[in-house]
Structure 1
């Protein structure tokens, strides 16, 4: 059964309107969202993805709906892992927190465009050369091995060649000018550091897509499902960035869980390639029916199960750290409770500094 054309067109129009509306909201009021606001938006986008899967079930079939859920869960979990690097990028470029929303939003839109191109190219290659699944499968298993090998190591951000080149070509101001990416200084048009941050976010996400796109193609060969799963995974990423905050470091087993998922999909891809039994140097051959085919419902169950186990195990492992990190301390001068970490701590510190008098500053 093919996906109805009207369903695909309606979906693309709806997602475009939603993304433009989201961008307009961010541009109109740059701010650091509260935990409540971020939580509501994440809940909205997750609910939207769940409803979309139900619509696919109603208008297409159960297979497509299951493929979407499996792909969305995989892409969403990999996107959460990407947040570690996003946090490092924001710290590396010292982006003011109230302008981070806009940087994330534009960076995500760039990532969606680049991923869309990557998905179309991948679909064309897979359609013509099924044996490429061997390459994808081996690459995913290798990626899973590296995730396990480097688990626990401190991550650092290194500018890629594209960003380094842009720094040399573009005239960039020394300081940020709000959320603007282009300003006039001394009568000369200049780019602000925000343009570098946005390009860093977009190109870094594309690098991460080198493993996430092959992974979802291991779950479905339908480009529409691959793209929509990526869109729904990335749409709520901006709010998730502010919601999780310091909690990211407490998901200590997330990379291990992702390694299991990528390794599983890699094996699945290789099995499918063996089943198809097509190699460029061997001519047309009959499929090998004896090779087992992993059904999509089993893939979904394994992905969901691994994510639940990794999350619960992480929370249990860091249970003591969670209590200690969130425990407030009392400011001796104001006698008010102040959070010890995360966005609330930064906001409280800024508020105290803003309320200081000149005498206070001199004494400090």
Structure 2
């Protein structure tokens, strides 16, 4: 069975989505558009071909896609020899409404999504919560969604971590990401300020785009942690090496369905580089599957604010100072990834 990954979004996030799928599909060859050649050149099983050329090839074929707009377009190719495989990057109608509050656009996107769910032959969900969301939304399509598997966002780390020693004993906390509303950057600074109050030697680094530096400095001034703040922009290729220098990563998400049904790459970025994590309880279930409970701390998110035991948080961060548990966290992550089963689409579709 020939597999084509259909994706015309060439962003860094899309590259990572592609890499996860390519790593865990069990097949001899995977075809992608020729425009991906510079991004996926390290994968020997990838071949480059125009989509229409692929469609015209005889025999059994599968098309993997990531968003409902592409899925709606691709349903015209569905037949007995062409299977459609949906890997939802997110829940698009809800995300659109969250950002724009346009009810008509949400209605249109819901219509498109319903058609895509109906015509899809197999689903590769990000998480159990994402699958539950779709089952609740489209209960009449449960039979369709029984043809599915769960593949969280993961990556195979390239860092060999041969030297984890540092020349100082400072506690190093990092936030890596943007400053969009749903990323709750103000609450990130609030939590970190509590940690710094108890640990004056703490260094807080924010890895973000240059245009966010002004906002970061304003928040640092507001929470009186200017002397502890370091701002950097790191290219995606340099992110793993940079993150390996820190002890703890932080990510705060509110309780809306968009976050509950997601599988944030940021969690994987932190853990795959040996960082302990501070997270909100709504994504705690995902963390528990990856690392031991000793290596993460949960915050309670309620009504736009967070609550936690400052004493327990202080004890947690002290236990992670100077990378004390990096090797254990890395071992947890490697064990987690090793247990993820590859997806054999030929077996799923009973193709001999």
The two structures have a TM-score, normalised by structure 2, of 0.25
Between 1 and 2, higher relative CO (CA 8 Å, sep ≥ 6) is seen in: 1
Greater gyration radius: 1
The two structures have a TM-score, normalised by structure 1, of 0.24
Determine which structure has the larger helix proportion and give its number: 1
